[in-house]
Amino acid sequence: MNYHVDERGFYGEFGGAFIPEMLHGNIEKLRNQYLLHMEDPSFKDEFDALMKDYVGRPSPLYFAPRLSDKYGAKIYLKREDLNHTGAHKINNTIGQILLAKRLGKTRIIAETGAGQHGVATATVCALMGLRCIVYMGSVDIQRQAPNVARMRMLGAEVRPAESGSKTLKDATNEAIRDWINNPVETHYIIGSVVGPHPYPDMVARFQSVISEEMKWQLQHQEGRDYPDYIMACVGGGSNAAGAIYHYLDDDRVQIVLTEAAGKGIDTGESAATSVLGSKGIIHGSKTLLMQTDDGQIIEPYSISAGLDYPGIGPMHAHLIHTKRAIVQYATDDEAIKAAFELSRIEGIIPALETAHSFASLEKMKFNKEDVVVINLSGRGDKDLATYIEYLNDFSQS
């Protein structure tokens, strides 16, 4: 079974590039050039240097003793929360901004939901001195004021998307429209392993630094370079893709993806794409998505804005379809509980997205000697307003 992208841009039956005629030139150019640039030693040197000195990599692989005790396995945390800007997203935006420069682009656009990808994009545009426009649903602009302020402080222009539900998918539509109108000087930095080929593969490769480091870190700490389990949360799937990339063909490693079940899978307020979704095309790729019988996208729901996406990347659709990956689901309440548990038990406040993955721990059956790596995709500072609402439920006195 092949779990990597094929020459046509497909993972099994998922993926491809279903795009309007007007974007064909841009996508073709990207498809023809991304690997040439990424494999160029001078590109790699520049990427590696920024990863080290700007992002702060390698991120530690931390053995979590109290969590291990509680769940009866050897649990390690891959600390993407310690990266500059607080999550894994910067790995991808650094890669894409270097690529944009090599393609001669001077103007960057991006879509954002919670604002995390917008902040990571605004950051690298400031770093490189490129113009940055971030599309964001006007509802999200209201809900995510601190990240909007960060983007503006970093010099980006935040443009509201006023169509549809005024959230992430509408912002994505606006960004695509912008790209169609400005094809020559503009590069579109997509924030996850979604969109038309080559985006899913390109983003997965930039994020694969996570599993590249895991290999030598595990070798050093465990005497073998692979774990028994890798666990990660999935919105579009980029942090998970990075954490599993170098283990896709290693069947000693079980992959456990956690999706957001919102208020519960059957409540109508959920983002559990892999059970509620069906095959269709969203934002340029064939994948699993939540849609009505006549193909209208169903609005997803999760307490965590980063998991609140109606689709899933084509790579993950394929991994789930072929049963290479196991899927778990965590509700809002389970994620909140897990976030408080990790804070109290290891002194680490995780992002709400990441907390979903920790909520899956109690649903797993481990052996004591199993080596488990959880990808700690981001830190919880941005979610403090949500956590504060639950503080009384979990406080000691």
Shortest Å, Cβ 368 to ligand PLP: 29
- Show the site string, 181-220: x = touches ligand PLP by CB under 6 A, - = not: -----------x----------------------------
Q: Does 377 bind ligand PLP (CB under 6 A)?
A: yes
235 binds ligand PLP (CB under 6 A): yes
Is 17 a binding residue for ligand PLP by CB under 6 A? The answer is: no
Q: Taking the complex as a whole, how short is the minimal distance between the CB of residue 86 and ligand PLP, in angstroms?
A: 7
- Residue 39 bears catalytic tag: no
Alpha carbons 137 and 275: distance in angstroms, whole number? 26
Site size with ligand PLP, rule: CB under 6 A: 18
Q: How far is CA 120 from CA 8, 68, 127, 240, 383, in A?
A: 30, 32, 11, 18, 17
Distance from C-alpha of 74 to C-alpha of 82, rounded to nearest angstrom: 21
Taking the C-alpha atoms of residue 16 and residue 27, their distance in angstroms, rounded to an integer, is 11
Residue 172 found at the interface with ligand PLP (CB under 6 A):
no
Q: CB of 199: closest distance to ligand PLP in angstroms?
A: 12
**Does position 239 bind ligand PLP by CB under 6 A?**
yes
CB of 87 to ligand PLP, least distance (A): 4
Binding pattern for the stretch 317-356 against ligand PLP, x by CB under 6 A and - elsewhere: ----------------------------------x-xx--
Shortest spacing between CB 308 and ligand PLP, in angstroms: 9
Q: How many CB atoms lie within 10 A of CB 289?
A: 25
What the block records as the tokens of 178 is 């912008």
Hey, what's the torsion of the CAs at 30, 90, 271, 244, to 10 degrees? 80
When asked if residue 236 is in the footprint of ligand PLP (CB under 6 A), the reply is yes
- Per CB under 6 A, the list member of 198, 237, 277, 310 interacting with ligand PLP is 237
Which stretch, 130-138, 227-235, 277-285, 338-346, contacts ligand PLP (CB under 6 A)? 227-235
Listed ranges 132-140, 159-167, 229-237, 335-343: which one lies at the site for ligand PLP (CB under 6 A): 229-237
**Residue of 222, 224, 242, 230 lying closest to 94 (CA atoms):** 242
Q: Measure the CA–CA gap between 383 and 335, rounded to whole angstroms.
A: 12
Q: Which of 80, 111, 334, 346 is catalytic?
A: 111
Pick from 50, 61, 64, 234 the residue near ligand PLP by CB under 6 A: 234
Considering beta carbons, is residue 130 or 194 the nearer one to ligand PLP? 194
Tell me the closest approach of the beta carbon of residue 120 to ligand PLP, in angstroms. Answer: 8
Minimal CA–CA distance to 283: which of 190, 202, 203, 184? 190
Of the pair 74, 115, the CB lying nearest ligand PLP is at 115
Please report whether residue 310 would count as binding ligand PLP according to CB under 6 A. no
CA distance 252 to 254: 6
Instruction: Provide, rounded to whole angstroms, the least separation between the CB of residue 170 and ligand PLP.
Output: 17
- Give yes or no: 395 in active site: no
61 in helix, strand or coil? Answer: strand
For ligand PLP, the closer of residues 74 and 148 by Cβ is 148
Q: Tell whether residue 93 is a contact of ligand PLP (CB under 6 A).
A: no
Per the annotation, the verdict on 89 as an active-site residue is yes
Residue nearest to ligand PLP (CB): 378
**Which tokens hold the place of 357?**
């993955």
- Give the residues across from 287 on adjacent strands: 280
Q: What are phi and psi of 344, to 5 degrees?
A: -80, -30
- Across the beta sheet with 229-233, what order do the strands follow? 61-63, 74-79, 371-376, 229-233, 254-262, 325-331
Q: In whole angstroms, what is the distance from residue 166 CA to residue 245 CA?
A: 33
378 binds ligand PLP (CB under 6 A): yes
Q: Which two tokens stand for residue 142?
A: 């209201």
- By beta-carbon proximity to ligand PLP, the closer residue of 65 and 146 is 146
Q: Which helix (H) or strand (E) holds 375?
A: strand 371-376
Nearest to 210 by CA among 124, 116, 82: 82
Please provide the DSSP assignment of 185-208 as one string. Answer: TEEEE--SS-SSTTHHHHHHHHHT
Tokens matching residue 3: 């779990």
Among 26, 93, 112, 116, binds ligand PLP (CB under 6 A): 116
Judged by the rule CB under 6 A, the positions of this chain that interact with ligand PLP are 87, 89, 116, 192, 233-239, 306-307, 351, 353-354, 377-378
Catalogue the active-site residues.
Answer: 89, 111, 377
